[in-house]
Structure 1
Amino acid sequence: METMALKAKAAQIRMDLLKMIHGAKTGHTGGSLSNTDILTALYYKIMKIDPARPKWEERDRFIASKGHSVESLWCILADLGFFPKEELETFSRFGTRLIGHPNNKVPGIEMNTGALGHGLAISVGMALAAKRDGKGYRVFCLMGDGEQAEGSVWEAAMAGSHYKLDNLVGIIDRNRLQISGPTEDVMGLEPLEDKWASFGWNVVSIDGNDMEQLLRAFESVPAVSGKPTLVMANTVKGKGVSFAENVPHWHHHVPNDEQLALALAELSTLIERYKLEEGVSS
């Protein structure tokens, strides 16, 4: 997929997740909107995956340590054919597989996540297994910035560096807001890049809502031999919906009918613009 097509795809995924959350009357809206560009870059361009063979041994692995923002992931997996798109209508309903956190009963999900601070440790184990088994797959782990207050994250960071796991990519959705307010008020994280670098990681800081920057960062991995990479993806919580951007209330706010219509109109306009720009560039 070319860059403009990826931007349009991300806008479409945002529309899908908003409709899904609106229908279910529950969901983590703000964080799913902020991580959509990251997941779109990974799933449609970067990772080696095969929806027809979700357990393909050579597949790249993705761990959503930030498991509560699963809505964008569900929409992408459905769009790629890991499960029927119609199943999105069952999100958070009784008996569904599509619960509010990743569920490994669903094809394409490597592990159940949601208890923050666990994903990177599991990712370290997966990346170490690949090294010891002589496999070429990579492991991508998406974390939240509020999650950086968990001590287990830093234990895993030490292990990733110690074992020289250059097949491991940690990604922080650095939108600077968590459920109880700005991250720097809840538990100050800065200087966050310096902290990761001091733990022996190659740190790349980008605009996490800029598709070109995301692709450059992910395509360069492994950028430094013998070092895991940390992509500091600086994002906007609620990205793509003007009235939700950088508003803490939208962490898990559900759009009403009017808000949904406004958001879908904004995103539809974006898609048309990207399609027009794609036609001009081609």
Structure 2
Amino acid sequence: MSTNDIAQTIREKALWMRRRAFTMVFDARLGHPGGDFSAIDIIATLYFGVMRYDPKKPEMAERDRFIMSKGHATGALYTGLCAAGYFPEDWLNTYMQPQSKLNGHPNRNYLPGVETNTGPLGHGVPVALGIAIAGQLTNADYRTFVLTGDGELQEGSNWEAAMTAGNRKLGKLTLIVDRNRLQQGMGTEETNGLDPLDDKFRAFGWDVEMVDGHDVDALLTALSEPAGGRTKPLCIIANTIKGKGVSFMENIASWHHGVPNAEQHTTALEELI
């Protein structure tokens, strides 16, 4: 398959994920659609253009690992796992329902493809660090990817992990920052400024690339770069738009955990075509 064909497949999957995730939130009356939509293009690119995995063998030793550190954005993660073939689509209809395998936060005991439980912010990057160290110690070939929210980087555990990753020169570790600049209630820079974020990671011994987090071609280029010769961990700062793809959601902090009414649900699906 050509690069253009791969990119088109990713765009089609991402569109399906947005439509499905928004309906899941609408039906459940719960969710975090703003952060789902800023992350979906990244997740679709990983699953349909970059990572090595087999949904029929979710524990395959040589699989690439993906950690969803911003664990509240389950609409993005679950639709991605479903589209990748880890479980049937009708499971999505149970999102956040009693006894559902699709909790508000991902649980590896319930769902194949979930590498670790996340939700409490600041946990995913340290777990990804440990997985990457294990691979380094055993000379394993897998890559470890972790997606974090920018607001989540206010947690100090991330920076302890970043310092250790740089010190150990974990070239097969890639951290993607969903840089939508909004968190619950207000902007990240109003809460606890992160800029210059790129310089911070470079100071901790990381290579850094900045991309448009909704440009599939740019994401493919940044994420597909061979890690074998890399001597530093890679931080990709993906500049994104919270609520990307739906006009009344974009760059609105209240859609961090907003729930659409019937009219908004209809309008969003009309826009997502």
Report the TM-score, using the length of structure 2 for normalisation. Answer: 0.96
Tell me how far apart the structure 2 counterparts of residues 189 and 81 of structure 1 sit (CA, whole Å). Answer: 36
Number of the residue aligned with 1:273: none
Quick check: 1:10–1:40 contact (8 Å CA) kept in 2? Answer: yes
Tell me how far apart the structure 2 counterparts of residues 127 and 231 of structure 1 sit (CA, whole Å). Answer: 17
Tell me how far apart the structure 1 counterparts of residues 154 and 106 of structure 2 sit (CA, whole Å). Answer: 21
Residues 21-74 of structure 1 show CA distances to partners (whole Å, capped at 9, x for unaligned) of 111110001000000000000001100010000000000000011111111110
Number of the residue aligned with 2:145: 140
Residues 186-213 of structure 1 show CA distances to partners (whole Å, capped at 9, x for unaligned) of 1111111100110000000000011011
Q: Does residue 110 in structure 1 map to residue 115 in structure 2?
A: yes
Cα displacement (A) at 1:2? 2.1
Which ranges of 4 or more aligned residues in structure 1 deviate by more than 6 Å?
none
Tell me how far apart the structure 2 counterparts of residues 193 and 80 of structure 1 sit (CA, whole Å). Answer: 31
Please point out which of 11, 25, 30 is paired with 1:26: 30
Please point out which of 139, 155, 158 is paired with 1:153: 158
Please point out which of 1, 7, 14 is paired with 1:10: 14
Pair 201,224 (structure 1): closer, same or farther in 2 beyond 3 Å: farther
Q: How does 1:220-231 map to 2 (within 5 A)?
A: 220-222=225-227, 225-231=230-236
Tell me how far apart the structure 1 counterparts of residues 10 and 80 of structure 2 sit (CA, whole Å). Answer: 12
Number of the residue aligned with 2:90: 86
Counterpart of 2:77, as a letter, is L
Tell me how far apart the structure 2 counterparts of residues 248 and 17 of structure 1 sit (CA, whole Å). Answer: 18
Q: How does 1:25-174 map to 2 (within 5 A)?
A: 25-105=29-109, 106-174=111-179
Quick check: 2:128–2:146 contact (8 Å CA) kept in 1? Answer: yes
Secondary structure of the residue aligned to 1:125 is helix
Q: Does residue 210 in structure 1 map to residue 226 in structure 2?
A: no
Query: Mean alpha-carbon deviation: is it higher for 194-203 or for 74-83?
Result: 74-83
Pair 225,2 (structure 1): closer, same or farther in 2 beyond 3 Å: closer
Unaligned segments of structure 1, at least 5 residues? 269-282
Secondary structure of the residue aligned to 1:177 is coil
Tell me how far apart the structure 2 counterparts of residues 139 and 42 of structure 1 sit (CA, whole Å). Answer: 11
Quick check: 1:145–1:172 contact (8 Å CA) kept in 2? Answer: yes
Unaligned segments of structure 2, at least 5 residues? none
Counterpart of 1:35, as a letter, is A
Cα displacement (A) at 1:6? 1.4
For the aligned residues, what is the CA RMSD? 1.1
Residues 207-250 of structure 1 show CA distances to partners (whole Å, capped at 9, x for unaligned) of 00110110010011428621000000000000011110001111
Report the TM-score, using the length of structure 1 for normalisation. Answer: 0.93
Query: Mean alpha-carbon deviation: is it higher for 215-224 or for 198-207?
Result: 215-224
Quick check: 2:19–2:269 contact (8 Å CA) kept in 1? Answer: yes
Identity %: 46
Number of the residue aligned with 2:182: 177
Quick check: 2:166–2:232 contact (8 Å CA) kept in 1? Answer: yes
